Amino acid sequence: MAIRTIRTQEDPILRKTSRRVEVFDDRLCTLLDDMAETMYKAEGVGLAAVQVGVLRRVVVINTGEGLIELVNPEITETQGEQRVSEGCLSLPGQSGVTKRPATVKVKAQNRNGNWCLYKGEDLKARAFCHEIDHLDGILYIDRLAANETVELDK
Ligand code: ZN
């Protein structure tokens, strides 16, 4: 496994749309392993492949309940609303209050290509939405709640 470089705000790749994964091979496994290691090193709760410069629809999340690997994820259902401060490993030193669903359901493939269903509330729901947004070039600063601005962390 290897730590990969996390791309930051000024890198135009963050605004690009990632392509679906069609081949479930060793390269995908290596990417997933490297992404998890990179996320843990950076002390984040989620990371999308585009953040390490790979335009594929691949996400890792760990909000404290174990590692979740999402390949070709799709949000299938949302409920409620939450407004909580959120940050991003690609936008270091900043945070902002976003408007997100309180609960989301997600379907995604695992590293073997099998479809799995996930449900997330609170932080986990935010992480699912935040990371899946990355796959379409969307950053949390595009999801700020009304009257909220990005603030520099102290
Ligand atoms: Zn992010």
Ordered domains of the chain (ranges, CATH): 12-152 (3.90.45.10)
Residues annotated as part of the active site: 131
Residue with tokens 């995604």: 108
Q: How far is the CA of 24 from the centre of ligand 1 (A)?
A: 24
Q: How far is the CA of 55 from the centre of ligand 1 (A)?
A: 14
The rounded distance, in Å, linking the Cα atoms of 128 and 119 is 9
Average pLDDT of 78-105? Answer: 97
Q: How far is the CA of 63 from the centre of ligand 1 (A)?
A: 14
Query: How much is the mean pLDDT over the chain?
Result: 97
The two tokens of residue 123 are 């932080």
The rounded distance, in Å, linking the Cα atoms of 60 and 46 is 6
In the chain, count of helices (H) and strands (E)?
A: 2, 8
Condensed to tens digits (0 to 9), the pLDDT of residues 35-88 reads 999 999 999 999 999 999 999 999 999 999 999 999 999 999 999 999 999 999
Closest CA to 97 of 46, 128, 143, 129: 143
Average pLDDT of 23-38? Answer: 98
The rounded distance, in Å, linking the Cα atoms of 39 and 115 is 23
- Write down the pTM of the prediction: 0.96
